[in-house]
């Protein structure tokens, strides 16, 4: 059985080992390529400060790149039985192939900053992947908004038909919501994109490490300067990322809720393609919006992610704690879940058809009441008096809705403002691409 990096010759009970390792062997597969990248940067720095010889750096770098290209990238990387985590496995592979020189890669480094740099590189990449999926959904929403800009539907307050809206506004509203979601993701990317390597166990090292060099080699935007704070970033990075996930999930959740409602026969505002619905075992007419019901449920769980992580890390003092290990168990699956939800939502919105004649139904005629009030005000009638006049018309059954909607201000039915929203999205996305 392979030795652990921290082993001192005392055998650990198998049950305790299984409990403490948890799901690391499974989840750490996600971190393998980042561990190699971090190790290459670290040993490059070690050579620059005289802690490795040039020929040692060359053979170590060559073998690490071989592991990356021949084992990790093709999906062949595995953490062997008895090996604790990805860091131990890669160091074991180095020492098995290169002997004692493989044991030198850990000089000036702790598993604490090694895990942190892997996580930050991982989260940095995932932020960009999520941003790309958000942008694709945004583009589809804007396309649908423009294509259906003149098609009206009722807007609701208190779940009651309130005022005229449009599909241009409805699709466009979710597009603009994604802009703000991406602003939050960009802020999280800035927090994540700082180099913790060299903080070791949280108190630095007596070796003359060049942390500026590893920051440059790993293309971090900044350095986590204070070594204690670098370690305090464990948990904070995950929680910040969770807030970004929850923000995007909130937008998807509201969209899914609307779709489930609008797709029902009592509304019939939209029509989903058959491949996005399921049938009933006994009711031949059913076309259930299962895809959006699942998106609604999944995103509700994602919205709770920040609370889960903040609860797990509550009341922890500064410095490393093993509690941090379980954060991967909730965060990593959540990232995949969000990506899946974004992908299927983009596909579904692109295929969605809308009902062009919703407001032909006379039950919606009262949603034009504000239009009539405003028209009277434009004719010089004081607003409160105009309000009373229209209320009386509704009460005695003489109210007649207008034929046209005249909304011209920014962000209204007649002036969606999609071009401005697109400019904002491009500016935010540029910082993440």
- CA contacts within 13 A on the Cβ side of 213: 14
Per-residue pLDDT, 1:
46
Per-residue pLDDT, 415:
96
Average pLDDT across the chain, whole number: 93
Per-residue pLDDT, 409:
95
Q: Report residue 373 as tokens.
A: 């009030």
Q: Which of 188, 338, 331 is nearest to 248 (CA)?
A: 338
Rounded Cα gap, residues 174 and 178, in angstroms: 6
The residue ranking higher by pLDDT, 286 or 4, is: 286
Report if pTM > 0.75.
yes
**118-207+224-360+417-430: CATH, from 2.60.40.1180, 1.10.1040.10, 3.40.1160.10, 1.20.200.10:** 1.20.200.10
Per-residue pLDDT, 19:
62
Residues of the chain with CATH 1.20.200.10: 118-207+224-360+417-430
CB 122 within 8 A of CB 31: yes
Residues of the chain with CATH 1.10.275.10: 14-107
All residues at 6 or more sequence positions from 181 whose CB lies less than 8 Å from its CB, including other chains: 134, 244, 247, 248, 250, 251
CATH architecture of 14-107: Orthogonal Bundle (1.10)
Residue 67 has a CB neighbour count (10 Å cut-off) of: 23
Tens of pLDDT along 250-272? 999 999 999 999 999 999 999 99
Tens of pLDDT along 272-285? 988 887 765 677 66
- Widest pairwise Cα distance in the chain: 95
b or e along 93-128 (b: 16 or more beta carbons within 10 Å of the residue's beta carbon)?
A: bbbeebeebbebbbebbbbbbbbbbbbbbbbbebbe
Whole-number percent of the chain with pLDDT over 90 = 86
Per-residue pLDDT, 15:
65
Rounded Cα gap, residues 209 and 200, in angstroms: 11
In this prediction, residues 43-71 reach a mean pLDDT of 98
């Amino acid at each position: 059985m392979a030795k652990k990096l921290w082993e001192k010759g005392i055998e650990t009970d198998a049950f305790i080992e299984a409990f403490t390792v948890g799901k690391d062997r499974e989840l750490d597969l996600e971190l393998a390529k980042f561990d190699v990248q971090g190790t290459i940067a670290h040993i490059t720095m070690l050579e620059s400060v005289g802690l490795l010889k040039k020929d040692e750096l060359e053979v170590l770098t060559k073998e690490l790149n071989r592991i990356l290209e021949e084992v990790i990238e093709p999906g062949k990387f595995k953490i062997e039985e008895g090996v604790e985590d990805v860091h131990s496995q890669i160091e074991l592979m180095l020492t098995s192939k290169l002997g004692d020189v493989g044991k030198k890669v850990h000089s000036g480094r702790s598993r604490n900053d090694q895990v942190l740099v892997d996580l930050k590189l991982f989260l940095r990449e995932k932020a960009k992947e999520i941003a790309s999926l958000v942008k694709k959904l945004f583009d589809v929403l804007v396309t649908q908004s423009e294509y259906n800009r003149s098609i009206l539907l009722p807007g609701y307050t208190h779940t009651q038909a309130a005022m005229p809206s449009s599909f241009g506004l409805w699709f466009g509203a979710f597009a603009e919501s994604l802009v703000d979601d991406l602003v939050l993701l960009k802020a999280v990317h800035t927090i994540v994109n700082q180099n913790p390597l060299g903080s070791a166990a949280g108190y630095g090292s007596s070796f003359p490490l060049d942390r500026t060099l590893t920051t440059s080699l790993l293309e971090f935007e900044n350095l986590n300067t204070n070594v204690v704070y670098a370690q305090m970033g464990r948990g904070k990075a995950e929680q910040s990322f969770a807030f970004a996930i929850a923000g995007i999930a909130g937008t998807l959740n509201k969209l899914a809720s609307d779709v489930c409602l609008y797709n029902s026969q009592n509304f019939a505002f939209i029509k989903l393609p058959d491949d996005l619905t399921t049938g009933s075992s006994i009711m031949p007419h059913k076309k259930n919006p299962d895809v959006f019901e699942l998106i609604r449920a999944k995103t509700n769980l994602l919205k709770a992610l920040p609370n889960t992580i903040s609860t797990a890390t509550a009341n922890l003092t500064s410095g490393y704690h093993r509690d941090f290990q379980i954060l991967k168990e909730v965060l990593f699956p959540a990232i995949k879940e969000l990506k899946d939800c974004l992908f299927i939502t983009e596909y579904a919105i692109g295929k969605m058809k809308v009902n062009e004649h919703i407001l032909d139904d006379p039950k919606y005629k009262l949603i034009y009441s504000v239009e009539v009030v405003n028209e009277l005000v434009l004719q010089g009638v004081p607003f409160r008096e105009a309000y009373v006049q229209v209320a009386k018309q509704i009460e005695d059954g003489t109210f007649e809705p207008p034929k046209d909607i005249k909304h011209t201000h920014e962000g209204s039915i007649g002036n969606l403002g999609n071009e401005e929203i697109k400019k904002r999205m491009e500016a935010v996305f540029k910082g993440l691409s």
